[in-house]
Every structure is written in C-alpha cells, then in structure tokens.
C-alpha cells in the first residue's frame, strides 16, 4: 500500500493505493475516510467539493462521532453532573455529532497496509469547555485483499470518569453502473436496483421532535430491513436496535446484482443501535450508522443498559472494530 500526504483546499489529506484499493482520508477534518474505491468501484458517498463537505460533514464518507447523533438542548446529564454543549444543528435545538467530526488529526503511523490517526483532547481544545476530560482517540484502517478493518479506540487520560458513546456515520454509495453492458447510456450509475439489508430487531424507536420517546414500536409496513429493501425514493430516518441474524452476523448488506457489487458492513458487538438514514432517498447513498447508544440517550427516561449510556473510568481503554467486505464481479 502506498501512502501519500497532500493538501485538499487547505485540509491535510492522505491518499492511498494498493491491493485493488484507492482512496482518500481527510486527516485535517475529522479523520474522515472521504473516498474509498475497490477495483475502481466507488463505495462511499464522496463530496464534489470541500465546501459541500464542510456544510454537511456527517453526510459524506465515514465521519467519526463522539458522542453520536443529537443531545437535546446540548445537555448531557451523567452521574450527577451536567455537561453542556453548544447548539449546532439546523433546528437550533440540539448539539449534534460530537466533538471529533471537524478536528485536525495527526498520522501516528502509515506503513504497509495500515494507517493509524490520533487526536489528543486536552485543555487547549475549545471543546474541552464542553467535555472537560483529557482523552486520546485513535482511528485506524487496515486493508486486506477484499476487506477493510475499521477501528476506533479511546483512552481516558483524565482523573475522572467520563461519559462514553460512539458511532460511525457511514455513508455508502448506492449507485453503480451495470456490468457487461457495452458502451451506451445504460452504463450510467443507477441505484434503482440496489437492495439494503440490515440485521435489526423487529421494532424501531418511536421518534418525536427528532429524538426517541423511549418506546419501541413495530416497523412501518414494507420496511422489514432484515429481508432487504430498495430504498431509492424512500425517505429513511429510523433508529432501531441491532439484532444478529441466524448466522450470528451483525451487519448491513448493500447489493446491486446488475452491477455485480456487494458490500457487507459487519459491526462490533459493542454497537447496540442502528441509525438508518438516507436524507430523502434521492441522493444515491445510504447510511447504516452503528451507535453505542440511542439518540439523546442521557435525556431519555430509560435505564443505562437499555439506552446505552456508558462510563469510561480514569486510565481505561475502550475499542471497537468493524469490517467492510467487498465483492465485485469482473
């Protein structure tokens, strides 16, 4: 694997190539794996410009969310203490997507088939006023013949227990060109035959005013995610518990048979929730977002073992690892 550092409109970038993989990571903007291709097939939703990404950073590539999703009023009550975060969403009601998504990360190592990026959260960071704990976060990507191992780890370097919640806002491309069609207009990428299957429970969290009420309800008719759905033209914004399938897999599968493309996103058992999102179903992407808690978990009246609120003790280390496996028919 060849690693090359560069600059993308003022943002530190690393580009890579090898083992049929090519891509780009914005180390200077959230350690976001913004472009990933296997045998030339585009796997992620990639922005046309840096301006597009900065306007809506969670909608491109694989943003790193710590903590994930929304906090009502920017409030995070935890063990008798209330953390206050700035309101930063379009509705002006929530803090959204955590403290790492726009940060400058450093490359700790990039050798052979693996890159490790690091972020040190210290009192010099503006976000320390919101989350006053020193911690070290690392994101790594390791490339094999037909898979990518995705890893996040965090160590609490402070002297106090801190809240712990994490997610990846993974935005997969869903439009692929059909194979073996010859040269014609039908070669254009298309998502009308892309199926998404996700290993979920048979219920979803009831959402009101963009956050869960704490009640689980049945899926809407025609939205049985374990059986597979073609989401084109369908607005999806669903929070649902993760449930392994009959073979024990906890994954999302994105498949376009005419194109001969199959992506399997297998997630760590520490992720308890899927946030499924595709904006309005008209932009040829789908986000199966693994999260360790339900949206707004600290403000929902549920026990921590259900909501996913966790703690990281001083000096403690926590890690998750996912796997993106890709099959492309020649």
Q: pLDDT (tens digit, 9 = 90+) per residue, 265-292?
A: 999 999 999 999 999 899 999 999 999 9
Q: Are 46 and 60 in contact (CB under 8 A)?
A: yes
Q: Is the pLDDT of residue 43 over 90?
A: yes
CB count, 10 Å around CB of 56?
11
- At 186, is the pLDDT very low, low, confident or very high (cuts 50, 70, 90)? low
Q: Which two tokens stand for residue 184?
A: 């014609």
Q: Could you give the percent of the chain with pLDDT greater than 90?
A: 91
- At 185, is the pLDDT very low, low, confident or very high (cuts 50, 70, 90)? very low
Helix (H) or strand (E) holding 53: helix 50-55
* Residue 19 burial (C-beta neighbours within 10 Å; 0-12, 13-18, 19+): middle
3-state DSSP assignment of residue 57 = helix
CB count, 10 Å around CB of 250?
21
Predicted structure pTM score: 0.96
DSSP letters, 119-181, are EEE-TTSGGGGTS---EEEEEEEEE-SSEEEEEEEEEE-SSS-EEE--EE---EE--BPPSS-
Q: How far apart are alpha carbons 120 and 134 in whole angstroms?
A: 8
Q: Are 70 and 89 in contact (CB under 8 A)?
A: yes
- CATH fold of 2-328: Beta-galactosidase; Chain A, domain 5 (2.70.98)
At residue 89, what are phi and psi to the nearest 5 degrees?
A: -105, 170
At residue 319, what are phi and psi to the nearest 5 degrees?
A: -150, 145
Q: Which residue has the tokens 């929530």?
A: 94
Q: How far apart are alpha carbons 223 and 274 in whole angstroms?
A: 14
Q: How far apart are alpha carbons 9 and 74 in whole angstroms?
A: 31
Lowest average pLDDT, out of 39-53, 65-79, 185-199, 207-221, goes to 185-199
Which long-range contacts does 52-55 make (Cβ < 8 Å, 24+ apart)? 53/26, 53/29, 54/29
Q: Which residue has the tokens 């069609």?
A: 181
At residue 185, what are phi and psi to the nearest 5 degrees?
A: -65, -20
pLDDT in tens, 227-236: 999 999 999 9
- At 183, is the pLDDT very low, low, confident or very high (cuts 50, 70, 90)? very low
pLDDT in tens, 287-313: 999 999 999 999 999 999 999 999 999
CA 107 centroid distance within chain: 20
Using CA atoms in the order 309, 313, 314, 317, what is the torsion angle rounded to 10 degrees? -90
């Amino acid at each position: 694997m060849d690693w090359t550092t560069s600059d993308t409109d003022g943002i530190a970038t690393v580009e890579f190539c090898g083992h049929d993989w090519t891509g780009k990571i914005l180390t200077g903007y959230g350690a976001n794996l913004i472009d990933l291709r296997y045998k030339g097939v585009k796997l992620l939703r990639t922005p046309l410009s840096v301006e597009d990404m900065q306007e809506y950073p969670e909608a491109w590539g694989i943003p790193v969310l710590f903590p994930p999703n929304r906090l009502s009023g920017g409030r995070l009550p935890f063990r008798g203490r209330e953390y206050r975060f700035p309101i930063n969403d379009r509705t002006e009601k929530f803090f959204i997507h955590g403290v790492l998504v726009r940060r400058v990360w450093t490359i700790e190592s990039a050798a052979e088939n693996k890159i490790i990026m690091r972020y040190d959260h210290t009192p010099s960071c503006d976000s320390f006023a919101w989350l006053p704990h020193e911690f070290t976060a690392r994101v790594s990507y390791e490339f094999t013949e037909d898979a990518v191992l995705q890893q996040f780890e965090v160590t609490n370097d402070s002297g106090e227990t801190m809240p712990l919640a994490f997610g990846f806002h993974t935005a997969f491309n869903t439009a692929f060109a059909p194979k073996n069609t010859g040269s014609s207009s039908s070669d254009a990428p298309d998502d009308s035959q892309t199926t998404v299957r996700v290993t979920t429970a048979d219920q979803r969290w009831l959402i009101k005013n963009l956050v869960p009420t704490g009640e689980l309800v049945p899926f809407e008719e025609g939205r049985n995610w374990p059986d597979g759905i073609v989401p084109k033209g369908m607005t999806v914004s669903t929070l649902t518990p993760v449930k392994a399938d009959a073979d024990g897999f906890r994954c999302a599968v994105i498949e376009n048979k005419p194109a001969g493309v199959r992506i399997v996103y297998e997630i760590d058992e520490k992720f308890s929730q899927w946030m499924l999102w595709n904006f309005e179903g008209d932009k040829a992407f789908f986000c199966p977002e693994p999260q360790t808690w339900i949206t707004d978990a600290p403000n929902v009246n549920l026990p921590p073992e259900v909501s996913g609120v966790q703690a990281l003790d001083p000096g403690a280390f926590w890690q998750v690892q996912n796997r993106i496996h890709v099959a492309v028919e020649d």
